[in-house]
C-alpha cells in the first residue's frame, strides 16, 4: 500500500518536472533564451566610456597600461568585470591600474548581468589585431617554462574555459608581464571568491624572476592560436 502511494507520487513529480522542462524551453524560445549571448547592438552604447583607455576597437593602449580586449574570450572578459565589481580585483594596495579599472567596472549602467553580456558581445565583434612585440626574452627557455602553463591556458595559449584559464596568445606582451608581477606580488588572486586567480597566483611562483617572465612571454609571443 505504502509502496503504491510512493509510486504514484513519483509519477506525478516526474510529470511536474517534465512540465517545468517544457515551460523552460518554451520561455527560452519566446525570449531568445536567457543562456544565449548578449546583444552586441545594445552593448555598443555601453562601450564609448571604455575607448579612452582600451581603444575604439579594443586594441589596447600601452600609454594607459590598458590591455587589448579584442580577441579575448567573452567568458573571461565577463568574469574579470565581475571580479572588479565585487572588489576581488583592483582593491590591493599599490595596484593603481587595477583601481582605475575597478572604478570603471562599477558604473551604474553595468550593474546588471544582461548589460555585461551585451557589452562583452559588442567587444566580441572587434577584429583581432597583431601586437608588436616589446619584450626581449629567450623564447626557447620560455617554451620549457610554458609546459606548466598549457594545462590551463591551452597548448597554443588559446585559453581553456573548463580551467578558467584565459587566452594569452595575441595579448600585448607588456600586459602579460605586468599581470605575472601582480600575481606574484599578491595584487591579483588575493580574494576568497577569486578561485581562478588564486590558482594562478600559486602558479606564478614558477616564473617569479624577471628573466623567467620575459622568457615565457617571449614564447607566448611566438604562438598564434
Ligand atoms: C581609465 C582607463 C580605463 C577605462 C576608461 C576602462 N578601463 Fe578597463 N582596464 C584599464 C586598465 C589600466 C586595466 C588593467 C588593470 C590591471 O593592470 O590589472 C584594465 C583592464 C580591463 C579588463 C581585464 C582584461 C584582462 O585581460 O585581464 C577588462 C575586461 C576591461 N578592462 C574592460 C573594460 C571595459 C569594458 C571598459 C568600459 C566599460 C573599461 N575597461 C574601461 C583601464 C581602463
Ligand atoms: C592551474 C591553472 C593555471 C596554470 C597552470 C597557469 N595559469 Fe595563468 N591563469 C589561470 C587562471 C584561472 C587565470 C585567470 C585568473 C582570473 O580569473 O583572475 C590566469 C591568468 C593568467 C594571466 C593574466 C591574463 C590576463 O589577461 O589578465 C597570465 C599572464 C597568466 N595566467 C600566465 C600564466 C603563465 C605564464 C603560466 C605558466 C607559468 C600560467 N599562467 C599557468 C590559471 C592557470
Alpha carbon nearest to ligand 2 atom 8, residue:
200
Q: Is residue 101 a contact partner of residue 182, using CB atoms and an 8 Å limit?
A: no
CA 26 to chain centre: 31
d(CA 211, ligand 2 centre) in Å: 18
Residue 11 pLDDT: 54
HSE, side-chain direction, 13 A CA sphere, residue 165: 21
CB neighbours (10 Å) of residue 60? 21
What percent of the chain has pLDDT above 90? 82
Alpha carbon nearest to ligand 1 atom 3, residue:
53
Measured from CB, residues less than 6 Å from any atom of ligand 1 are 49-50, 52-54, 64-67, 69, 72, 77, 80-81, 97-98, 100-101, 104, 119, 178
Residue whose C-alpha cell is 583607455: 53
With the CA atoms of 65, 69, 74 and 76 taken in that order, what torsion angle do they form, in degrees rounded to the nearest 10? -30
pLDDT tens, position by position, 79-89: 999 999 999 99
Alpha carbon nearest to ligand 2 atom 40, residue:
149
Nearest to 196 by CA among 152, 155, 157: 152
Q: Distance between CA atoms of 97 and 75, rounded to whole angstroms?
A: 22
Distance from the first to the final alpha carbon of the chain: 64
Residue whose C-alpha cell is 570603471: 104
HSE, side-chain direction, 13 A CA sphere, residue 190: 17
Q: Distance between CA atoms of 164 and 224, rounded to whole angstroms?
A: 20
- Closest ligand to the CA of 199: 2
* Plot region of 32 (φ>0 → left; ψ -120 to 50 → alpha; else → beta): left
150 lines ligand 2 (CB under 6 A): no
Residue 210 pLDDT: 98
Which ligand 1 atom sits closest to the C-alpha of 188?
Answer: 18
Residue 13 pLDDT: 53
- List per-residue pLDDT tens for the chain, 225 residues long: 445 544 544 555 545 544 444 444 444 444 444 445 899 999 999 999 999 999 999 999 999 999 999 999 999 999 999 999 999 999 999 999 999 999 999 999 999 999 999 999 999 999 999 899 999 999 999 999 999 999 999 999 999 999 999 999 999 999 999 999 999 999 999 999 999 999 999 999 999 999 999 999 999 999 976
Amino acid at each position: 500500500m505504502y509502496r503504491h502511494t510512493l509510486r504514484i507520487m513519483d509519477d506525478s513529480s516526474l510529470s511536474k518536472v517534465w512540465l517545468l522542462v517544457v515551460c523552460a524551453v518554451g520561455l527560452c524560445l519566446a525570449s531568445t533564451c536567457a543562456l544565449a549571448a548578449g546583444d552586441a547592438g545594445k552593448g555598443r552604447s555601453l562601450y564609448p566610456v571604455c575607448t579612452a583607455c582600451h581603444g575604439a576597437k579594443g586594441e589596447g593602449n600601452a600609454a594607459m597600461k590598458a590591455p587589448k580586449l579584442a580577441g579575448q574570450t567573452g567568458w573571461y572578459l565577463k568574469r574579470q568585470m565581475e571580479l572588479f565589481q565585487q572588489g576581488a580585483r583592483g582593491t590591493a594596495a599599490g595596484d593603481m591600474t587595477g583601481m582605475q579599472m575597478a572604478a570603471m567596472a562599477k558604473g551604474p549602467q553595468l550593474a546588471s548581468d544582461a548589460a555585461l553580456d551585451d557589452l562583452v558581445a559588442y567587444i566580441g565583434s572587434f577584429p583581432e589585431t597583431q601586437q608588436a612585440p616589446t619584450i626581449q626574452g629567450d623564447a626557447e627557455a620560455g617554451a620549457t617554462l610554458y609546459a606548466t602553463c598549457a594545462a590551463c591556458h591551452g597548448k597554443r595559449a588559446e585559453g581553456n574555459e573548463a580551467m578558467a584559464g584565459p587566452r594569452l596568445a595575441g595579448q600585448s606582451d607588456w600586459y602579460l608581464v605586468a599581470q605575472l608581477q601582480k600575481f606574484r606580488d599578491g595584487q591579483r588572486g588575493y580574494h576568497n571568491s577569486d578561485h581562478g586567480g588564486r590558482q594562478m597566483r600559486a602558479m606564478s611562483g614558477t616564473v617569479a624572476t624577471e628573466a623567467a617572465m620575459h622568457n615565457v612571454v617571449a614564447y607566448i609571443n611566438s604562438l598564434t592560436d
